Amino acid sequence: MPTAKLTSRPEIAKIKNPATGTVFYSHDGDTLKGIRLAVGARTKLWILTKRIDGKVRSIKLGDWPAVATGGAAEEIAKAKIAELETGTDAKSTNIATLMDAFESHVARSHAKEATIATYRLQIKNHLSDLFARPIEQIALPMLEDALKGKPPSTAKHLVQIIKMAFRRAAIVRRCFDVSADLKVTQKHKASSAVLFDPKDKWPALDLIMDTRSLIARTAWLTMLFTGFRSINVRTLTWEQVDLKKKTITLSEMKNGLSRTFPIADVLIEALSVLPHREGYVFPAESKTGHMDQLMARKVTVGEGDYAKDEKALRQHDCRRLFTTAARRARLPEYIIDELRGDTAKKVQDIYDQGSANHDDVNAIAARIIMECGFAPDLLVERIKSPDYVR
């Protein structure tokens, strides 16, 4: 085996690539034991040869000139040997890429299938190249580049996914978590405004009642008359609904709380029209078995190039309108907080065992119906006629 001064970059640069085959060089000296420079027709690659657990292993340490000298290769070799001896290397842990780390995290996670499916979609759409790279090759600037140009809400979600994968890699592989300092620098401009003038007649019920699908229409009514978040409505099961007691129980709200809520009589009418009483309240032909999305309802004026969405109702608008109706009905703040499923704000809230009742939700429902310009009896009549759409 030929020798060369592998601690000197200029000396390494002088080594000529053979026309064919691979020539292995060892260091001309007493250091760099087990480290070789494999010189091929176009490349120069650092390799460590070492007996570990009774077997001779050949481990790639990196390409020259990225790894400039044998000294740099030796530092990489020390880390590789430590990984092999402790069983934290990529092969032993089955975590070579960031995607492997994500899958390892998911295997131990109790997250809902719909949540995990959303994570996978975000990775596919925004992080596929990054997650395919070996963990050792990922640096903080790469992570920051992956967030550039993304809306703040999307970037925040991507940071969450990246950090959960790197946190798992850091635990299992004992590698440095380069995502620890990853942040979203652009702030999201939060808005609590609906896309119409709430001082005028609310278009919510008009838009909802014109929805042709009975399942989707009832899901929208549930959001509007409870103020629940979309995810809690779409994943609702009949086990959580008690039509006789007129309650719905949510066990996995965004803030981690579990609570049983009274529901308005008009919503009981709507839920009673549904033709099934098992499984998901709002089933769909999807991987999850329930509705995965509810598209915004819109009123469009004009045609062709002059068409414009004049008014719209989005999923979270229902929560906004529920809260507004509750305040316009002059309900106490602690009742509104309880019906919204908010976390306790005061000592009394912590001790309160449930002050909201059916009269409260009926008052809110009545206010919503009035703000939408509907007569209560007419709305119930239309709800009881599920095939009726204007």
pLDDT in tens, 19-37: 999 999 989 888 888 898 9
236 and 125 inside one domain: no
- Quick one: pLDDT band at residue 221, thresholds 50, 70, 90? very high
Q: Mind listing the pLDDT tens digit for each residue in 38-57? A: 999 999 999 988 876 667 77
pLDDT, position 190: 60
Summarised one tens digit per residue, pLDDT across range 140-196 is: 999 999 998 888 888 989 999 999 999 999 888 888 899 998 988 766 556 678 888
Is 347 domain-assigned?
A: yes
Q: Which of the listed residues 126, 157, 173 is the one where a domain comes to its end?
A: 173
Q: Please report, for the domain that includes residue 43, its CATH number.
A: 3.30.160.390
Threshold 0.85, pTM exceeds? no
Q: 219 and 366 in one domain?
A: yes
Mean pLDDT taken over the chain: 88
Give residue 293's domain range: 204-384
Q: Give yes or no: residues 277 and 337 share one domain.
A: yes
Q: Is residue 187 part of a domain?
A: no
Domain membership of residue 188 (yes or no) is no
Highest mean pLDDT among 2-6, 246-250, 381-385: 246-250
Residues 68 and 211 both lie in one domain = no
Q: What's the domain count of the chain? A: 3
The packing angle between helices 315-328 and 358-371, to 10°, is 110
Tell whether the model's pLDDT for residue 66 goes beyond 80: yes
pLDDT level of residue 353 (50, 70, 90 thresholds): confident
Task: Flag whether 242 is in a domain.
Answer: yes
- Band of residue 309 on the pLDDT scale cut at 50, 70, 90: low
369 and 253 together in one domain = yes
Residue 194 is assigned to a structural domain of this protein: no
Residue 197 within any structural domain of the chain: no
Domain identity same for 123 and 82: no
Tens of pLDDT, residue by residue over 83-111, are 776 666 767 788 899 999 999 998 988 88
User: Is the predicted pLDDT of residue 201 greater than 80, yes or no?
Assistant: yes
For residues 224 and 373, membership in a common domain is answered with yes
Domain boundary among 131, 158, 173: 173
252 domain residue, yes or no:
yes
Residue 367 and residue 219 in one domain: yes
pLDDT at 248 over 90: yes
Is 186 contained in some domain? no
pLDDT band at 390 (very low <50, low <70, confident <90, very high): very low
Mean pLDDT of 259-283: 94
